[in-house]
């Protein structure tokens, strides 16, 4: 279904680079979770979808700061992230209930923002994030790869795929880190 229309991000947002992300990346993704959001809201403000993820990575490849996420083909978000050349990762301080909603209901039949109590916003670079987020990372797609069991060196990995719904991996160049200074505490970011 059509999602709620995005509204312009407010002036509480600042822009920096990935190195200004606060905290342990493993903790932020693996314990705090994130929302992967993709769509084309330049022409249609409701043409986006989002889903919760707790697997992914942030780092450096090809001398670029990159973000990696994995999306199963069965996700509604899959068709959105495939269609466009960018996506975003939104991080939160808490919001567990909202992240559970976005990780259990599908945008195929749910107005996710309404169900989760989130406000979809769009940044000047067209990245879609959420007013309630503490950071939104904008990524430009660089590479995709479909995971295949033939490459599972540890056969235990196959346990994650009882239905053969192998993830497609996306590596994106980090274009910017949007953050709210007040939500994070001025001076706590130490990156360059």
Ligand X SMILES: Cc1cc2nc3c(=O)[nH]c(=O)nc-3n(C[C@H](O)[C@H](O)[C@H](O)COP(=O)(O)O)c2cc1C
Q: Which residues contact ligand X by CB under 6 A? A: 33, 49, 51-55, 70-72, 75-77, 100, 103-108
Closest residue to ligand X, judged by C-beta, is 103
Minimum Å gap between C-beta 101 and ligand X is 9
Nearest CA among 122, 120, 143, 129 for reference residue 34 = 129
79: phi then psi, degrees, rounded to nearest 5: -65, -30
Question: Closer CB to ligand X, residue 49 or residue 90?
Answer: 49
Contact 87, 172 (CB under 8 A): yes
Nearest to residue 148, comparing CAs of 157, 139, 140? 157
Nearer to ligand X, 103 or 140 (CB): 103
How far is Cα 71 from Cα 28, in angstroms, rounded to an integer? Answer: 18
Residue 115 CB, nearest approach to ligand X (Å): 11
Nearer to ligand X by C-beta: 53 or 67?
Answer: 53
* Minimum distance from residue 126 beta carbon to ligand X (Å): 20
Distance CA 88, CA 77 (A): 12
CB 105, min distance to ligand X, A: 6
Nearest CB to ligand X, comparing residues 13 and 129: 129
Pair 21, 191: CB distance under 8 Å: yes
């Amino acid at each position: 279904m059509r999602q709620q229309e995005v509204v312009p991000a407010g002036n509480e947002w600042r822009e920096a680079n990935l190195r200004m992300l606060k905290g342990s990346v493993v903790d932020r993704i693996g314990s705090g979770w994130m929302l992967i959001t993709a769509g084309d809201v330049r022409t249609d403000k409701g043409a986006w979808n989002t889903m919760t993820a707790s697997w992914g990575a942030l780092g450096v490849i090809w001398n670029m700061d990159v973000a990696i996420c994995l999306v199963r083909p069965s996700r509604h978000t899959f068709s959105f992230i495939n269609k466009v050349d960018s996506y975003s990762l939104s991080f939160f301080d808490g919001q567990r209930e909202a992240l559970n909603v976005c990780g259990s209901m599908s945008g195929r039949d749910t107005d996710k923002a309404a169900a989760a109590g989130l406000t979809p916003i769009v940044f000047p670079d067209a990245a879609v994030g959420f007013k309630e987020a503490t950071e939104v990372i904008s990524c430009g797609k660089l590479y995709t790869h479909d995971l295949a069991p033939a490459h599972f060196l540890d056969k235990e990995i196959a346990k994650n795929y009882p239905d053969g719904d192998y993830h497609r991996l996306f590596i994106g160049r980090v274009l910017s880190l949007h953050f709210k200074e007040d939500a994070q505490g001025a001076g706590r970011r130490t990156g360059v």
